[in-house]
Structure 1
């Protein structure tokens, strides 16, 4: 589900940046979700 992927990406980005997200961060979140969509939102470590 794309909504879950966006929320999850936002949570991880907020954690990685150690700050609250701003509207400007929404572009980065969209890019992350769009890149992972082709792989069914799989995580890699």
Structure 2
């Protein structure tokens, strides 16, 4: 991730955290987990 996109994610994570009532670091962990799991599930088995 470039530094520009990383800096844009901070306000977004805070907004999501405020909306869901969770901590900003928890949102970051969930985003990373989602990226990993969504990529893993799109790989074909053949």
**TM superposition score category, shorter chain reference:** 0.3 to 0.5
Relative to the length of structure 1, the TM-score reads 0.42
Greater C-alpha radius of gyration: 2
Larger RCO: 1 or 2 (CA < 8 Å, sep 6+): 1
